[in-house]
Amino acid sequence: MNIGSTTGSAFSSGAYAVDQGTTQVRRAAQDVADATTERPVEGPGETADAMVELKQGQETVAAGAKVLEAADKQMGTLIDTTA
């Protein structure tokens, strides 16, 4: 069993989730700004959808951060065990 690659994979997965969540938040924030300034006649539906996307992106970033934290703890435990 190669634990190093498992931890590396967890770090990669966590970082990917944070990146994807950040991208989703950035896009949704732009949609909110656009809906409230450029196209206010289109109604609250687009703004509501964008707000849902913002929350989903926030949750994705939080989940990715938890994965990174767990991988960090795992790596620390492995280093403490082998030292």
Q: How high is the pLDDT of residue 80?
A: 61
How many structural domains compose the chain?
Answer: 1
Rounded to two decimals, the pTM is 0.76
- 62: domain range? 11-78
Closest CA to 26 of 54, 59, 62, 46: 54
**Is 47 part of any domain?**
yes
Question: What pLDDT sits at residue 81?
Answer: 66
Residue 23 placed within a domain = yes
Q: What is the DSSP letter of 83?
A: -
User: pLDDT tens digits for 30-77?
Assistant: 988 887 776 665 566 778 899 999 999 999 999 999 999 998 888 877
d(CA 55, CA 10): 23
